[in-house]
Amino acid sequence: MDAPPDPHDITRLLAAWRGGDGEAREALMQRVYANVRAIAAQSLRNMPGATLSATDLAHEALLRLLGSELDWADRRHFFHVAAQATRQVLVDAARRRLADKRGGDVQRVELDEAKSLATPESDAQLLRIDEALRDLAANDSRRAQTIELIYFGGLTRPEVAAALDVSEGTVDRDLRLARAWLKTALTA
């Protein structure tokens, strides 16, 4: 993954863009896009059966990032917003595919092509995970952020520790407890 964006540089570029500097906007988009693309690629590695390409996922997530607040407070805030945008794109795509499976957009597909398509089971599972993560966030937001940053944000354990300003041991504990919580929620 490319080096994370420097929060001071992002803040400077945002201020210049707000001041009418079009070059600052372009520099900001290039800096942020490289990171969003890397996050998208990592997220897709964690999502077998996803039908979006990393580029499509990055473009859609970036559009959502641009539609949200642009005043990212720090590196942690940037990664959290990017992971949330990526997760939401994947969840929305799964919802659309499930609606299509119910006859929304019937198309003939060759057998070889069908092997690469996401299954209704994987889409339904992604929606259950999304709901369980929302429930977890209501009970323990840091553990939910840890899961989101690893699985949807594509960060490593050390990167999550730095982003959340906790130790790697805390990340490991949060992961263990969050996974156990999610397993229980998903089997209930």
**Number of neighbours of residue 83 by Cβ within 10 angstroms:** 24
pLDDT at 173: 96
Instruction: Report the alpha-carbon distance of residue 166 to residue 172 in Å, rounded.
Output: 10
pLDDT at 46: 64
Are 49 and 122 a contacting pair, CB within 8 Å? yes
Q: Residue 114: which pLDDT band, with cuts at 50, 70 and 90?
A: very low
For the chain, the C-alpha Rg in angstroms (whole number) is 18
Range with top average pLDDT, 56-70, 87-101, 173-187? 173-187
Element (H, E) at 122: helix 120-139
How many Å separate Cα 143 from the centre of its chain? 15
- Please report which confidence band the pLDDT of residue 175 belongs to, taking 50, 70 and 90 as the band edges: very high
Instruction: Give 154's DSSP letter.
Output: -
Lowest model confidence (mean pLDDT) among 59-63, 127-131, 160-164: 59-63
The pTM is what? 0.64
Which residue do the tokens 């939910």 mark? 144
Check residues 178 and 12 and name the one with the higher pLDDT.
178
CA 152 to each of CA 23, 112, 148, 186: distance values in angstroms, whole numbers, following the listed order: 30, 28, 5, 18
What is residue 137's predicted lDDT score, i.e. its pLDDT?
A: 94
